[in-house]
Amino acid sequence: DTAVSQTPKYLVTQMGNDKSIKCEQNLGHDTMYWYKQDSKKFLKIMFSYNNKELIINETVPNRFSPKSPDKAHLNLHINSLELGDSAVYFCASSLSIGQPQHFGDGTRLSIL
């Protein structure tokens, strides 16, 4: 049973399109995160939700909109995709804020 699962694993799309990445955790955790890992493998927090409430929103273009329908899901929707959005996006969850995080396998987004 995968604890934190992301879909899709790979996403190749054209510039200007809108796409979504889904994340689900079956750990019963309250807190979920989205991270972006760039081509230099540098990880950076994008968003964090605690019990469906947005608690961290780093400097991310408003083309990125997270949605948490319930505390087991945190989806990431991206409008008007740009070349610079190409990266690996990781979802993670933790029991609560500050606890060890469990990561999904990542979604590799490639913009053509």
Kindly tell me which of 17 and 34 has the beta carbon lying closer to another protein.
34
Q: Which of 90, 93, 109, 111 binds another protein (CB under 8 A)?
A: 90
Any idea which residue has 């890992």 for tokens? Answer: 37
Considering the rule CB under 8 A, would residue 103 count as an interface residue with another protein? yes
What distances in angstroms separate CA 35 from CA 1, 7, 74, 79, one per listed residue?
A: 22, 15, 12, 17
- State the nearest-atom distance from the C-beta of 40 to another protein, in Å: 7
Check binding of 25 to another protein (CB under 8 A): no
Of the two residues 5 and 13, which places its CB atom closer to another protein in the complex? 5
Tell me: does residue 74 bind another protein (CB under 8 A): no
In the window 31-70, what residues touch another protein (CB under 8 A)?
31, 40-45, 48, 50, 55-56, 58
- Where on the chain is the footprint of another protein (CB under 8 A)? 31, 40-45, 48, 50, 55-56, 58, 88, 90, 92, 97-103, 105-106, 108
